[in-house]
Amino acid sequence: MRKKKLGRTGIELSEVAFGGVEIGVPYGIGVRSEADMLAEQDAVNLLHRAIDEGINFFDTARLYGESERIMGKAFEDRRDHIIIASKCRHFRQTDGRLISPQHVERFVRDSLEESLRQLRTDYVDLYMVHYADLEILEMDEVTAVFSALRDKGMVRAIGVSVYKADETEKAIDAGVWDAIQLPFNLMDQSHGIHFSRAMARGVGVIVRSVLMRGMLTDRVIKLHPELHHVEQHIQKYRALSAEAGFAGLSQFATQ
């Protein structure tokens, strides 16, 4: 497994990461409840297998249900060999309002401490804001507390997880964040216009949603009728994948 450095941090990551959401909460195509998820020991075995296959980068979050706890169980005696990224709780409340600026520091620290307990570790390699929209990216209190955690060694690097291309642009320009996690796949490459700027600024780019929750794989799926155009695109990609000689759509999607 090839490794690459994460921007200016010097942290070396495997090119392929293990996304931890599916071992923690029902997520993805065809997963409707906990009954469709892996049993805990199977999840632990899968994490160990990932290490054996050369993956050293594992992504999780405080809001991924049991994901952090299961990773903590799996990695307790392997911590020195892996890189863990986690994310704090959402800054927005259920009604969409942001938490008060004066509560940001305590909120972030409490979230990190919970993650450290679940992960059975005393530091996180990369700690990120979970969905940093434009308003959150403008909050000085957020950048201040994340920077302080990095300075104190509780986290090695800090970053943001975003959805929109203008959020990626703003995060790069902030000059604070070491890494940006963003969606990028066959059907959505809008963030790509900012990749060269991120590289020039030493900001690491972590790509997620490469397989679109399993849609860009060979799973048999039936989408909602209103998504028929998405299904048509997927069928075209399957045909292109076969013509190009790939073993399957997932292999094609990750090239």
Q: Which residues contact 201 (CB under 8 A, 6 or more apart)?
A: 172, 175
Model pLDDT, residue 28: 81
How far apart are the C-alpha atoms of 42 and 142, rounded to whole Å?
A: 37
Question: 27-62 burial, b for 16+ CB within 10 Å, e for fewer?
Answer: bbbeeeeeeebeeeeebbeebeebbeeebbbbbbbb
Question: Do 76 and 132 sit in the same domain of this protein?
Answer: yes
Model pLDDT, residue 85: 98
Token pair in block for residue 145: 């507390």
The arithmetic mean of pLDDT across residues 180-196, rounded, is 97
pTM of the predicted model as reported, rounded to 2 decimal places: 0.94
Question: Do 147 and 222 sit in the same domain of this protein?
Answer: no
Question: Do 61 and 178 sit in the same domain of this protein?
Answer: yes
Model pLDDT, residue 220: 65
Residue 75's domain spans which residues? 3-210
Read off the pLDDT of residues 69-95 as tens digits, 9 standing for 90 and up.
Answer: 999 999 999 999 999 999 999 999 889
The number of beta carbons lying within 10 Å of the beta carbon of residue 20 is 24
Question: Do 192 and 90 sit in the same domain of this protein?
Answer: yes
The arithmetic mean of pLDDT across residues 101-115, rounded, is 97
Question: Do 187 and 85 sit in the same domain of this protein?
Answer: yes
Is the pLDDT assigned to residue 157 strictly greater than 80?
yes
Question: Do 169 and 61 sit in the same domain of this protein?
Answer: yes
When mean pLDDT is compared across 132-136, 170-174, 233-237, the lowest value belongs to 233-237
Give 30's pLDDT tier (boundaries 50, 70, 90): confident
**CA-atom Rg of the chain in angstroms:** 18
Question: Do 97 and 217 sit in the same domain of this protein?
Answer: no
Q: Name the average pLDDT for the chain.
A: 95
Question: Do 206 and 104 sit in the same domain of this protein?
Answer: yes
Question: Do 50 and 98 sit in the same domain of this protein?
Answer: yes
Number of domains composing the chain: 2
Question: Do 232 and 156 sit in the same domain of this protein?
Answer: no
Read off the pLDDT of residues 138-147 as tens digits, 9 standing for 90 and up.
Answer: 999 999 999 9
Short-list 96, 155, 102, CA closest to 129: 155
Question: Do 231 and 159 sit in the same domain of this protein?
Answer: no
Give 5's pLDDT tier (boundaries 50, 70, 90): very high
